Each structure stands twice: as C-alpha cells, then as structure tokens.
Amino acid sequence: QYEQRIVVIDGLDEASSPAEDVSKFIRQLLDYAPKCGLRLMLGVRRPLTSMLGPRILIVDLDDESNFDMQDIADYVAKVLRAEFEPDVQNAYRRLGSQVDIVAQAVAKRASPTFLIARIVARSLVMADRPVDVTQSGWQDRLPATVGHAFDAYLERFNTSEKRVRELLAPLA
C-alpha cells in the first residue's frame, strides 16, 4: 500500500515539446498513478485535454460556476492576517473585523483574478500603515489590474524602485 501523493503540473500547454509528446508522458503517468497512489492535478488549456485520454476530470476555472468572490476575500483576509506566516507581525493582525472589510474590497476590485488579489494583499501587508477605511473612496484606490497591482507593490522599494524594475524587466 502506497501513501497517496499529489503532483501538480501547471502550464502543461506551454511546454516546449510538441503536444503529442506531452500528452503521451501524462497518459503514461495516468496509467501508472493508480498503482502507486499518485494523483495528478494538471493546469492546461482546453484544447490539450482531449489528448489526455478518458480518465480525467475537467474543472474549468473559467466557468462561472467554479468561481466565488468570497474565496478571494477569504484568501486576502488570511494573507492580511499573515495566517500562513505565524512569525510575521503586521498592523492587520490587530484590526479584527476591519480586515474582512479590506479583504472584501480587495476581492471586489481584483475579481475574478486571484493573482491581483495576492499582489495587492502582499502590498498592503508590507505597507507602513493599514488602509484607512474611514477615508472616502478608499476602495477605489485599490488596484484592479495586474499592472496597477504590480506598480503598487514596487512602490514600496521607494528610491530603489527604478533599479528593481530594471532587474525584473528581463523576466517580463
């Protein structure tokens, strides 16, 4: 009896090998998986799914029935409270229900993109002060695009922001 293991492979459709080679490799893993307690979670665009064979369960992340904005808000609240980093101290840990107000606003602006929510939440955690929810229009100042979220994130580098952007440019 094997201990069950989960292997996550994302961006399968972005592999440099031809799609047929990738799907052959994955089908071999799928054939072997039940024998060794392996489960696969694959991130792939729909056109490649037909090449994976019949034993797959498709969860379409673009299908609205698989999306709930509250999931984003809950995630943002956990990031703001640093629940994943128990040793990290930040102002949001002391704010109680105000964290949920900020998390809901971030989720609304970022929806349906978790990446935007994550970048904004990390920026807020690293800020000197928490968002002042008593200011008029504070929600509208939260980033709503990846570009704006990334800009806000990089602002924390102050005088080194230009240098950080230059270092990151080759990765873009």
Pick the residue with more confidence: 121 or 15?
121
pLDDT reading at 101 higher than 70: yes
Structural contact between residues 41 and 74, judged by C-beta atoms closer than 8 angstroms: no
Confidence of residue 91 (pLDDT cuts 50, 70, 90): confident
Task: Name the pTM for this structure.
Answer: 0.74
Taking only the tens place, the pLDDT of each residue in 54-76 is 778 888 887 888 889 999 999 99
Per-residue pLDDT band for 30 (boundaries 50, 70, 90) equals confident
> How far, in Å, CA of 18 to CA of 10, rounded?
16
Q: Bigger pLDDT: 43 or 53?
A: 43
Q: Give per-residue pLDDT as tens, 123-143.
A: 999 888 899 999 999 999 999
Task: Please tell me which of 51-55, 84-88, 98-102 the model is most confident about, judged by mean pLDDT.
Answer: 98-102
The answer to whether residues 110 and 116 touch, using CB atoms and an 8 Å cutoff, is yes
The yes-or-no verdict on residue 80 having pLDDT over 90 is: yes
Q: Please report, rounded to a whole number, the percentage of residues in the chain having pLDDT higher than 70.
A: 98
- The 3-class secondary structure across the chain, one letter per residue, is CCCCEEEEECCHHHCCCCHHHHHHHHHHHHHHHHHHCEEEEECCCHHHHHHHCCCCCCCCCCCHHHCCHHHHHHHHHHHHCCCCCCCCCCHHHHCCHHHHHHHHHHHHHHCCCHHHHHHHHHHHHHCCCCCCCCCCCHHHHCCCCHHHHHHHHHHHHHHHHHHHHHHHHHHC
